[in-house]
Amino acid sequence: MSADTVCRTELDSENHGELADLVAAMNVAANTTLPNGNKSGDPSAARFSGRKMSLQERGSRIARQPTIETKRVSITDADDCVQLNQYKLKKEIGKGSYGVVKLAYNEDSEQYYAMKVVSKKRVMKQCGFLRRLPPQGSNAAFPLEKLYKEIAILKKLDHHNVVKLVEVLDDPDEDGLHMAFDLMTKGPVMDVPTDDPFTEEQARFYLRDIILGIEYLHYHKIIHRDIKPSNLLLGDDGHVKIADFGVSNEFEGTDALLSSTAGTPAFMAPEMMTQHEQRFSGKALDIWAMGVTLYCFVFGKCPFYEEYIISLHNKIKNEPVEFPETPLITKELKELIERMLDKHPETRITIPEIKLHAWVTESGSDPLPLEEEHCTAVEVTEEEVQNSVKLISSLSAMILVKSMLRKRSFSNPFECLVRRSERSMSAPGGLLTGSWGLLGSSAQLHPSLRKISKEGSRDELEDLYEDDTFTELTD
């Protein structure tokens, strides 16, 4: 299992509710025409059609079912599984900072999903609220209110290149918050580092997906803040979805002016690495991370890496991007990477400019759809925030809790069963000082890469339903 998702630096946890740790992907027919103008197919042997498609074809959307709103929930405990309404909850497929993830079979649709249980107590503790769980709607429960707002937003986001939340169930008197996501079985688009990087054609194919997904998020005034290969998950159609909104920010106006540090160090922009508090463009942060990701696609490694985090920061801030002699890339791709990794955010290339770049469009022969062709407005009302989850009975919730949550250590829930082990993408090599498996022991991370907040490092967490305080890891 990749450790990079738990290798984020968060210096302002109040601004970030870790919510969508789990990733999702729509199951789309193999030959469906998709919004970015490409034909679907196996990503390992993707076919890139030379046919030029009309804007109407490229902008066509696949109809998707809205997030399910369930008013009555029934939970029964069986020997081999837990029945949650139409879901049969089976084996554990992942763990997260706030809960566990179970494989869930929907008997109505005859499809598999991923069901995650989030500990509301853990969310409160991460924000400095200990012991008692305040009721929903109270001023003291603002971390949960932010969680519910994020849920309401995620339920409305509907784009082929962004994760889709299927259903949410909640019990106000108990700790577990249950979220169902479409199941991703193919995992991250790339493991970094790798000796088998993508060809330029493959990299272009995936970058076009990322561009449309990021444009959609920015259109809805959301800054992702943690774009990297492990947060780009492959669907069965060969296209990627942007996942993990745990450190994302909403904004008003034309751009977010951020001052807090969050994300994965090797993918952070240089303007974030200052000793003095200053505000910086949120959109420019996402574009920098996209540039690092594109570099990873074609070279199999990050453009900046060092053994120690301070040295890594210095490299990102002060050293130019170096391009290996092999593989040899075109001058158009090199120029695009350099513009995406411009150390000055005010002159860094923008999403509209990337969409028109010669390398992305193959010199204009394969343009991407216009913003209005794949972006639609989303507004979340206060009523929708309050109704973003459905309630389940306390007794039934306790049955589910006791059946699902028995382990004391929680790691990254993104990885699926096929991803048994990965290396850190926070900074290749030495910044990860231990090993990581899907359900194995937790990695011993370099201190500079551990997720931190106002409460400090909390890699080892107690049982979700115990009231004792956190146990700190020793180095």
Is residue 171 annotated as a catalytic residue, yes or no?
no
Contact (Cβ atoms closer than 8 angstroms) between residue 424 and residue 434: no
- Within a 10 A sphere around the Cβ of 64, how many other Cβ atoms? 13
225 neighbors 11 (Cβ within 8 angstroms)? no
Measured CA distances, 263 to 31, 272, 397, 449, 451 (Å): 35, 10, 33, 10, 9
Which tokens go with 420? 């048994």
**The token pair that represents 299 in the structure block:** 């070279």
DSSP of 43-84: GGG-----PPPPHHHHH-----PPPB--S---EEE-SS-EEE
The angle, 0 to 180 degrees and rounded to 10, between the axes of the packed helices 331-340 and 282-299 is 140
Sign of the CA dihedral with 21 first, then 430, 423, and 283 last: positive
Rounded CA gap, 124 and 183, in Å? 28
Burial class of 340 by CB neighbour count within 10 A (0 to 12, 13 to 18, 19+): buried
Which string of b and e fits 446-473 if b means at least 16 CB within 10 Å?
Answer: bebbbbbbeeeebbebbebeeeeebeee
Helix-helix angle 282-299:200-219, to 10 degrees: 160
Q: Which of 182, 226, 342, 366 is catalytic?
A: 226
- Joined tokens for residue 192: 């970094």
The answer to the question of whether 125 is labelled as a binding residue is yes
Annotated binding site for ATP: 125
**What residues are labeled active site?**
226
Annotated binding site: 125
